[in-house]
Structure 1
Amino acid sequence: MRALDQKLVRDLLHMRGQVLAILLIVACGITAMVTMMSAYDSLKLSQSAYYAEYRFADVFASLKRAPESLAPRLAEIPGVGQVQTRVVVDVTLDVPDLDVPATGRIISIPTTPQPMLNDLFIREGRYIEPNRRDEVLVSEAFAAANNLALGDTIGAVINGRWEELRIVGTALSPEYVYAIRPTDIVPDDRRFGIIWMGREALAAAFDMEGAFNDVALSLSREANLPEVLFQLDQQLERYGGLVAYGQEDQVSNFFLTQEIASLQVTAVFMPTIFLGIAAFLLNIVLSRIISTQRDQIAVLKAFGYSNWDVGTHYFKLVLLITLVGGAIGTGMGLWFGAGITQYYTNFFHFPVLRYEAGTGLIVTAIAFSSGAALLGAFSSVRRAVSLPPAEAMRPEAPPQFRPTLVERWGLQRFFSASGRIILRNLERKPIQGSLSIIGIALAVAILMVGRYMGDAIYYIMDVQFRQAQREDVTLVFNEPRPARARYAIAHLPGVMQAEPFRSVAARLRYEHRTHRTGLTGLEPESDLRHLLDQQLCTISLPPDGVLLTRTLGNMLGVEPGDSLTVEVLEGTRPTLTVEVMGLVDELIGVSAYMDIHALNRLMQEGQTISGAYLAVDSLAINELYDEVKQTPAIAGIAIRQTTIDQFEETIGTSLGVFTTVLVIFACIIAFGVVYNASRIALSERGRELATLRIIGFSRAEIAVILLGEQAILTLLAIPVGIGVGWGLITALVVAYDSELYRFPFFVDRTTYMFATGVVLVAALISGWMIRRQLNHLDLIAVLKTRE
């Protein structure tokens, strides 16, 4: 073994505590990167493969009713490849052992198996038979959530008649990888299911023989999507067509794509922080090592070792630490990645969700960590190789000694000898102290980021589901109903208060920017649905004009006072001009709100409603459910408490797992940073402390000198770390800003306490370990150091 390699091994053994701390930080960064990037690659690959194999449609459109003879004309639109017409209806279901009424979306399929758009993968059972009109396939998630087996029956209100449907198979479709109703926030597999039924049976039940109310298209590669959508809308307008939309706006694909994008953000954001901290620590450690090994560097150069040899020696030290940390992190990342990918099967339903972690990802992760480490070490190594031998053989020039600020102010009498030594060292080595403060501050910041996710989720739940949405139950009709429906709702069992709403599909336009969303009309003095501003104060609905969520306003580029064009996408499809009266702050989705009476006037439709928000007596809730199950006009029911439970189970649980892992990594980083700072201080000041012991200072006094300095640096670092944490959280808020949800800038006081507590505990443990080393300090060996 070469002499420099032997020195490398000795250095690693001597610094084993510091090396282990940095190695774990590197491992955490690589674990985060491999975990998130492999999960991202797996979801992305599974999505593209599933869409291609089962022919996920490129364009979708719904309408009232159109004759089947229209299909050939749709196929003539330039760029259209395949046209598939079908019947799609939402019905109320009575599921065994489920008190709450469920909603089923029944989709027609050919009575004999054949290739089609949005094709089915039958997981269990068989396809429907042509002569059995009651046979259906149900979505796998719905069957599993309700413990439905092959041969079981479910009740359904089909066009006003009660019918029983027999389950002959469970299936998956690329159209419903993420099965969620457009009005929901999170999926509810127990209360919302997809049902596939023979075309003839479904058409006969809803008077759709020879007709359709839904169409899906595939496009050729040279197709112009905006032009296809425009021409499709033109063709369907006379048949009550709603606006056509592309694959990117399809509900399931939209949620799946947003989740994949969030994974990608996380895969870049978190590892960058971890590896940046690791690079920073390596820079500090190497610079301090080099300052204590000046004489060794001089001797090496005097014996003929070149700058390249010396520089390579220290780079080897860095690479060895990062490669070992990278290997550990890669192994942990592959394990975590497989677990997280499997966890996603609870929300995204693929026939096969393959876990993919290619060699390219592993090589990239190792290269990224090594590059960050080498970059962090570069300045220190350059300083080492630039030292001429004669200069390096001399000790570093001592700093210019002068009275400290405390002494110049005459306050030294209030401090003991140990206290004055601490203050002098801090004042005379400001750069080293600042670096230690920055390192510990980064630990505080990453702990805050780790806890922030949980704070944000609970804040969203409190604001959205307890302050804004105060209703117990939301009823949605299968089509808009006249004014008398208001009184029928008020007389349903257990209803204590009912507030109707009107929901209209619309395209909002301002200058060249457009967005398709729902325009919701609310009661002007609503008790059950509040609109809030940034201070969480209730905003009253103006008698005219529209209120937009702030995110939607930003997307359209509008401010209060601007005139907005509203293209209604149902009924007679009028085009309206309304004034933007203000912006409201909602953390989930994007919406537009109006006074329900103003919306009715603009629509010229009387007091029409789309549903109602209800406050319900809990003792009569089951009676209400029984009544709703038998009411054909009600297409869906949403229960606030169920939504809260589902939100906690899906978003809360998934983020909870991620947050727990992140907090564990943050704790490791915190300890690594604090321990490194203390251990380096001991290495630098060993001779000084040994000298103090020789001249009569006790072990306790030299411990106070060393650890007191670290305690001051730690206390100074905490507020700095909180400031850095705010900056990282702000970046995280911006990175996760999407149409689906926005993370608020909200940090609970327990997060500050947690971050501070972990760093202080890490400081205490590090202090205890350093104190043990001080107790065994070899005074003779330390004092043999050459001056």
Structure 2
Amino acid sequence: MSPLHAKLARDLWRIKGQALAIMLVIGIGVALQVMMTGFVASLSQTRDAYYERHQFAQIFAPVARAPEYVVNQLREIPGVGAVQSRISGMALIDIPTRDIPVSAQILSLPTHGMRHLNEIRLTAGRKPEAGKSAEIVLLDSFATAHNIVPGDQIKVTLNGARRTFDVVGTAQSPEFIYYAAPGEMIPDDARFGVIWIGRPALAAALDLEGAFNEALLTLLRGAVEEAVLEEVDRVLAPYGAPGAYGLDDHPSDRFLSEEIAGLEISATNVPPVFMLVAAFLLYIVTSRTIQSEREEIGLMKAFGYTDREVSGHYVQLVVIIALAGALFGCLLGVVLGRITVPVYTTYYKLPFLLFRLELSSFTSGILTSVFVATLGGAFALRRVFKLMPAEAMRPAAPPDFSKAGNVGSNMMRLLDQPSRMVVRRLFRQPWRMLGAVAGIGAGMALSLSMLIIYEGFDTVLDRTFNVIDRSDAAVSFTHSAPIKTLLELERLPGVTQAEPVRNVAVVLRNGRRSHAGAVTGLSPDAELYRALDTNVAPIRLPDKGIVLSKPLANLLQVGIGDPVLVDIREGSQLAVTTRVAGIAESLIGSPAYMDLAALNRLMTEPQRVSGAYIAIKDGAEAQVYAALKDMPIVAGVSLRREAVQAFEEVMNQGAGFSRFVMGFMAFAITFGIIYNVARVAQDERARDLASLRVMGFFRGETAFVLLGELGVVTLVALPLGVFLGSGLTNLIAAGFSTDLYQIPVVYAPKAYGIAVAVVVGAAMASGWLVWRDLGRSDITLALKTRE
């Protein structure tokens, strides 16, 4: 081992505390990058393989009722590959353990036994046999939620008739990776199911023999999807088609794609923030370490070591720290990724999910860490290497404080000697103190931003289910019904209030910008479910015009007073132009609202509703649910309390779960930064502190000189951390937000209080560690020159 290598080993052991803290900061940044990019690759590749293996359709074309021969016309459209018709409907499942009916989508299965589009993946049992109309297959997650296994029987209300079916199998499907009840965005395995049944049996139940109400299509390579969609709509228009849509607008694929897009944004925006903090901290530590070894550098040069050899020695020091941190981060990212896999397989109904490692994330993380370390060391070394050996071996000239003036002379007289020493150092070395302030402020910014994000998630929950939706339950009908149906709900014992709602499928257009969704018709003075403005105040829906949510208005690039084309995709299927009458606040989805009467006028169907929001008297829930079960027109009932519980589960899984990982890492980085600041200051002043002990200062007075400096720096860093954290939060919130839900930036006092407590707690813990080391230090050794 060469002398420089021996010195390198001693230096690493001497600064092991700081080195470990820097490794932690670097490792966390690299771990986030490895974990997030790994999940982007894992979800993308798993989705694509699942779609291909089960021949997932690329175009979905619902229709009211079309004869089977129309399928041949669809096959003749240029660019179309395979075409398959099927029958789809809605049903109610009677679950004995639940008071309310459970809505379900029921789909036909081909009985020919050959491969087909949207093929299901059996998880247990078998498919229904041809000629046995009472056999069905249930969605696996729904069956698991209700402990239903092959061989059980369930009662299903289909087209107004209640029948008993035999469950012969359970299955998964690429069509239901993410699924929710109609009109909802939050999935709940227990509240919505999917049933597959032989096509002849479903055709007979829905009176669709020789016809279909949905077509599935795939595209040939190079086909233009928009052109194919236009032709499909043209062919199906005479049969009451609301409009075909591509895979991007399929609810399941859209949610999964949004998750992947959100992870991509987070992987792009969030890890660099942690890496920048690590780079700044590494620069501070390495520069101060090198500056403190000015005399050793001069001594090495005097013994004949060249500038290249000496610089290589210090570059090795920082590269080893950075490389070790990067390798630790790679390992941590893999471990976190594998631990998080079950979260995604629970949230998204994928048959498998293998955490895939992206070589690029390992390479970029390691190279970035080494580059930052080398750059920081180079900046720190450049001034020292300008010195001749004889000059470098002499202590640096004392700094000139004459220009600082006699700052606070009267105040200084009131302070004791240790306090004056603290104040002098703060004022006489302002740039060094500002560096420490910036480091601690950056650490607090990370912690504060994550705490504000936590508040944002809580705000989404509260505003959606306590401010916008104040009902006890939402009732959906099998079809649009006369408004007198609302009177039947109001007359149910236990129902205290019922408000009408109508949801109409539309495509909103502004030039080339469009959005396929729905318009919600509400009463102008609705109380149970309301549209809110940007000030979270109720909006009175006007008798003309449409109110768009802020995300939808931004998507269409329209404002109040701008025209919007409303292309109605059901009923009359008219295309009318109306104007934006208001902008509503929405944190989930991209809703659009209209006055119910105005919407019915557009539909040329006055006095119609598709559901209702109801309020129920305390203690009367079971009675109301039992009555709703016996109403044939009821397609489903959604309880607000169950929706809240489902939303909380969703927000704590998937991309939402990563906020807890990032929050833990932010707190760890905050401690690492503050600990480094304390240890660097201790190393810099080791000789001064030892001199104070020799001069007769007690251990507490000596520690006060060091810890007092840390305390002042920490207090000064708090407002800087608040400022930086407020700006950083917007960047991280954008990474978590998607087109389906938006995470608001909520500057809650609790978040600031906890962030301050985290910083102060980290400072106290670091101070205790430094206090402990001061008691163990050898005064005689500290007064000697190293090497």
TM-score between the two structures when normalised by the length of structure 1? 0.96
* Matching residue of 2:608: 608
Q: 1:405 to 1:702 in 2, by over 3 A?
A: farther
Measured after TM superposition, the shift of residue 320 of structure 1 is 1.4
User: Counterpart in 2 of 1:303?
Assistant: 303
Structure 1 residues 360 and 492 mapped into 2: Cα distance closer, same or farther (>3 Å)? same
Residue of structure 2 equivalent to 1:535: 535
Which deviates more from structure 2 when the two are superposed, residues 572-581 or residues 745-754?
745-754
Match of 1:433 in 2: 433
Secondary structure at 1:171 match in 2: strand
Could you tell me how far 1:215 is from its partner in structure 2?
A: 1.0
User: How big is each residue's C-alpha offset from its partner over 1:436-469, in whole Å with a ceiling of 9 and x where there is no partner?
Assistant: 0111111111112332332112111111100110
Residue equivalent to 2:22: 22
Distance in 2 (CA, whole Å) between partners of 1:294 and 1:673 is 24
2 CA distance for matches of 1:130 and 1:408? 95
- For the residue of structure 2 that corresponds to 1:254, the secondary structure is helix
Match of 2:69, SS state, is helix
Farther off after superposition, 18-27 or 395-404 = 395-404
Q: Quote the Cα distance in structure 1 between the aligned partners of 2:659 and 2:295.
A: 47
Alignment of 1:560-599 (within 5 A): 560-599=560-599
Q: What are the within-5 Å matches in structure 2 for residues 269-308 of structure 1?
A: 269-308=269-308
Local SS of the residue matching 2:402: coil
1:490-535 deviation digits (Å, cap 9, x = unpaired): 2234221110012111111223321112111100111101222222
Q: Mapping of 1:65-76 within 5 angstroms?
A: 65-76=65-76
Q: CA separation in 2, counterparts of 1:50 and 1:389?
A: 68
For 1:149-195, what per-residue CA distance to the aligned partner results, in whole angstroms no more than 9, with x for missing partners? 11111111111111111110111111111122342121111111111
Residue range with higher mean Cα deviation, 690-699 or 674-683: 690-699
Secondary structure at 1:85's aligned position in 2?
strand
Aligned to 1:647: 647
1:19 partner letter: A
Which residue does the alignment assign to 1:494? 494
Task: Identify the residue that residue 192 of structure 1 maps to in structure 2.
Answer: 192
Change (3 A) 1:578 1:380: same
Q: Deviations over 1:622-645 (max 9, x none)?
A: 233223333332222211111001
2:422 alignment partner, SS class: helix
Query: Is the aligned partner of 1:221 residue 2:221?
Result: yes
- Report the counterpart of residue 398 of structure 1 in structure 2: 398
- Partner SS, residue 480 of structure 2: strand
Aligned identity (percent) is: 39
Residue aligning to 1:338? 338
Count of residues in correspondence between the two structures: 787
Q: What pairs with 1:224-239 in structure 2 (closer than 5 Å)?
A: 224-239=224-239
Q: Distance in 1 between matches of 2:705 and 2:416?
A: 11
Report which stretch shifted further, 283-292 or 599-608: 599-608
Relative to structure 1, the CA distance from residue 780 to residue 200 in structure 2 (aligned partners, 3 Å threshold; closer, same or farther) is same
- Is residue 2:282 matched to residue 1:267? no
Give the Cα separation in 2 of the matches to 1:335 and 1:710.
35
Deviates more, 1:648-657 or 1:44-53: 648-657
Shift in CA distance, 406/158, structure 1 to aligned 2, threshold 3 Å: farther
Distance 1:363 1:456 in 2: 34
Q: What residue number does 2:374 align with? A: 374
Give the secondary structure class of the aligned counterpart of 1:554: helix
65-74 or 440-449, which deviates more: 440-449
Q: In the alignment, residue 504 of structure 2 is paired with which amino acid?
A: V
One-letter code aligned to 2:425: N
Counterpart AA for 1:427: F
1: CA distance, partners of 2:664 / 2:557: 41
Moved more, 353-362 or 568-577: 353-362
Alpha carbons 1:311, 1:384 under 8 Å: kept: no
SS of the residue corresponding to residue 725 of structure 1 reads helix
The one-letter amino acid paired with 1:576 is V
Tell me how far apart the structure 2 counterparts of residues 100 and 382 of structure 1 sit (CA, whole Å).
75
Q: Is the 8 A contact 1:404 1:423 kept in 2?
A: no
Q: C-alpha distance in 1, partners of 2:621/2:779?
A: 80
The SS at the match of 2:349 is coil
- Provide the rounded CA distance (Å) in 2 between the counterparts of 1:603 and 1:204: 30
CA displacement at 1:205 relative to structure 2: 0.7
Shift of 1:431: 1.1
Map 1:416-495 onto structure 2 (within 5 A). 416-495=416-495
For residue 124 of structure 1, give the secondary structure of its aligned residue in structure 2: strand
Alignment partner, residue 553 of structure 2: 553
**Cα gap change, 1:656 to 1:203, in 2 (>3 Å):** closer
Alpha-carbon distance in structure 2 between the residues aligned to 1:264 and 1:551: 20
Match of 2:5, SS? helix
Residue in 1 that maps onto 2:617? 617
Alpha-carbon distance in 1 for matches of 2:653, 2:540:
35
Cα deviation, residue 251, structure 1: 0.3
Look up the SS of the partner of 2:213 in the other structure: strand
Compute the displacement of 1:655 (Å). Answer: 6.5
Cα distance change, pair 381–213 in 1 and its aligned pair in 2 (3 A): farther
Distance change in 2, residues 1:128/1:408 (3 Å): closer
C-alpha displacement of 1:207: 0.7
Deviation at 1:385, TM superposition (A): 4.1
Cα 1:221/1:654, change in 2 over 3 Å: closer
Corresponding letter in the other structure for 1:321: I
For 1:654-733, list aligned pairs within 5 A.
657-733=657-733
CA distance in 1, matches of 2:376, 2:308: 18
Contact 2:679 2:770 in 1 (8 A): yes
Question: Matches of 2:687 and 2:292 in 1, distance apart?
Answer: 11
Alignment-mate amino acid for residue 635 of structure 2: A
Q: Is the 8 A contact 2:453 2:746 kept in 1?
A: no
Q: CA deviation at 1:701?
A: 2.1
Q: 1:351 to 1:776 in 2, by over 3 A?
A: closer
Indicate conservation of the 8 Å contact 2:287/2:376, yes or no: no
Q: What amino acid is aligned across from residue 102 of structure 1 in structure 2?
A: V
Distance 2:14 2:219 in 1: 66
Give 2:501's aligned amino acid. Answer: F
Aligned partner of 1:205 in structure 2 is: 205
* Residue identity matched to 1:428: R
Which of 775-784 and 756-765 deviates more? 775-784
* Residue identity opposite 1:4 in structure 2: L
Query: How many Å separate the matches in 2 of 1:96 and 1:378?
Result: 73
Give CA-to-partner distance per residue, 1:689-742, whole Å, 9 cap, x none: 333333343322222111111100000111111111111111122333322100
Identify unmatched segments of 5+ residues in structure 1: none
Match of 2:46? 46
Determine the C-alpha separation between the residues in 2 that align with 1:130 and 1:657. Answer: 45
- Cα distance change of structure 1 residues 113 and 618 upon mapping to structure 2, 3 Å threshold: farther
2-structure distance, mates of 1:127, 1:2: 74
**How far apart are residue 278 of structure 1 and its match?**
1.9
Report whether the alignment pairs 1:59 with 2:59: yes
Shift of 1:653: 5.1
Q: Distance in 1 between matches of 2:492 and 2:654?
A: 37
* Structure 2: distance between partners of 1:468 and 1:512: 31
Structure 1 CA distance for aligned equivalents of residues 172 and 24 of structure 2: 42
- Corresponding residue of 2:254: 254
Contact 2:100 2:628 in 1 (8 A): no
- Distance in 2, matches of 1:270 and 1:769, equals 31
Structure 2 Cα separation of the partners of residues 270 and 385 of structure 1: 37
Q: Check conservation: 1:279, 1:375, Cα contact below 8 A.
A: no
CA–CA distance in 2 between the matches of 1:403 and 1:547? 64
Distance 1:300 1:406 in 2: 40
- The whole-number CA distance in structure 2 between the counterparts of 1:518 and 1:405 is 70
Q: Distance in 2 between matches of 1:351 and 1:536?
A: 41
Cα distance 1:776–1:127, how it changes in 2: closer, same or farther (>3 A)? closer
Work out whether residues 519 and 591 of structure 2, in 8 Å CA contact, stay in contact via their aligned partners in 1. yes
Residue-by-residue CA offset, 1:376-433 (whole Å, 9 max, x unaligned): 4342244444444343223223211238566456332232222222122111111111
Does residue 521 (structure 1) correspond to residue 521 (structure 2)? The answer is: yes
Distance 1:98 1:675, change over 3 A: same
Task: Name the amino acid aligned to 1:412.
Answer: M
Is the CA contact (8 Å cut-off) linking 2:344 and 2:653 kept in structure 1? no
Conserved? CA contact 1:182–1:251, under 8 Å: no
CA distance in 1 between counterparts of 2:500 and 2:378 reads: 67
1:49-108 Cα offsets, whole Å, 9 max, x none, are: 111111111111211100001000011111000111100001111123222211110011
Q: In the alignment, does 2:3 pair up with 1:3?
A: yes
